[in-house]
Amino acid sequence: MKYPVEHKFAKQWWISLSEACNWKCWYCDFPMKKDIKTADADYLKWFLNILKPVIKDKNIEICVEGGEIGLVDPHILDIFFNSDLDKSYTVTTNGLFMRQDYHNRYKDHIHYILYHVVSDVTDPNVVFEKYKDTDPSIKIDYTIVIHKRNIKYLDEFFDNNKDCIFLPHLMQPRRPGLDFLSIEEFEQIYDILKDKENVYDHFKNRILNIIQHLKEEQSDPTKLKKMRDFCANVYHKPIFDLPNRLIKRCCITIDNCDAADITEENLYKLVNNDVSLFPKTDPICDNCIANFLWRHNPKWMLKYNRDELMNITRSLRRNNYHEVL
């Protein structure tokens, strides 16, 4: 099974090994940090040791990232990838990880790489490295970030790179001052992508879902809020911020107000979807559209992952989160 085409993982747990990045993307919060931190070896070993029994036999996808993971010290990468978690990992990179040949070095522990090809598409003729000789056991998908400023370049960009399969990302507001795409802009994006054979159909369907939900919000604002509240309590994409030794509710989050210390007790709370783990919802949840991009909304879970949905429902009821239901 190759993530993310038709995956049915209950959850994705993201692990950040470093804040360091070799790019300075205008839409990202990492370049704003002055004190760049990286996980140290002893702490990483301790974390992996307490993580192993928690995720044993659990249907959890482990994704590892930076910053840029290609900047992480090889000694730290050796500890992570050669650990005995008995997992095959997803890696996100802007290409440095492959240029350092780490994808071959750790090929026995990686099944999927999401390759962010360029910082921004400001020129449809931009050239980037393409990896065609990778071990066949590792699937590589290409990605770009779609936002208001680069919609006009998308048509020609995808036509120029028909030999690559893309899983684009929609820009999330990872820092203040960034605007969401409007319904009209989503419709424009869909019109551009709908006939592109090198863009995944399930991404196109997500665009349609977003358009549908945003239109419904205009007539019933409470519906979208309930879905966001549910997404905020599913914990399907938490991130372990190892440099800062924190668990954050979601890999999209930027605010430490919605974070918990990494402890063995908190890991069990996370895997059991104990909604008392985090003190309050991160401000970004009020606007985030990530719950439409991933199939962890109640309707999808009722069809494909009913047991997990029932566990979440029980946890919400136990902690008096009835309004989320």
Q: How far is C-alpha 44 from the chain's CA centre? A: 21
Higher per-residue confidence, 188 vs 181: 188
Domains annotated on the chain, with CATH:
11-220+235-293 (3.20.20.70)
Question: Do the Cβ atoms of 207 and 189 come closer than 8 Å?
Answer: yes
Q: What is the pLDDT of residues 147-179, one digit of tens each?
A: 989 999 999 999 999 999 999 988 866 666 667
Segment 4-32 shows an average pLDDT of 74
Answer whether residue 304 shows pLDDT above 70.
Answer: yes
- pLDDT, residue 182, reads 87
* Edge-to-edge strand ranges of the sheet holding 259-261: 139-143, 110-116, 89-93, 60-65, 11-16, 239-241, 246-248, 259-261
- Strand 169-170, strand 239-241: pairing: unpaired
- The Cα 34–Cα 42 span in angstroms is 24
DSSP for residue 141: E
Answer whether residue 305 shows pLDDT above 80.
Answer: no
- The Cα 53–Cα 55 span in angstroms is 6
- pLDDT, residue 281, reads 72
Quickly list DSSP for 30-81: GGG-SS--B--HHHHHHHHHHHHHHHTT--EEEEEE-S-GGGS-HHHHHHHH
What is the pLDDT confidence band of residue 8, given thresholds at 50, 70 and 90?
very low
- pLDDT, residue 173, reads 62
State residue 237 phi and psi, 5-degree precision.
Answer: -140, 50
Question: Do the Cβ atoms of 77 and 59 come closer than 8 Å?
Answer: no
Q: 26, 137, 141, 146: which is closest to 95 by C-alpha?
A: 141
Q: What is the pLDDT of residues 193-210, one digit of tens each?
A: 999 999 999 899 889 988
- The Cα 58–Cα 242 span in angstroms is 21
Segment 48-60 shows an average pLDDT of 89
- pLDDT, residue 233, reads 77
Higher per-residue confidence, 21 vs 235: 21
Segment 77-92 shows an average pLDDT of 92
pTM for the model stands at 0.88
Higher per-residue confidence, 282 vs 118: 118
Quickly list DSSP for 239-278: EEETTTTEEES-TT---GGGEEE--HHHHHHHHTT-TTSS
- pLDDT, residue 237, reads 83
Q: What is the pLDDT of residues 215-247, one digit of tens each?
A: 888 888 777 777 777 777 777 788 999 999 999
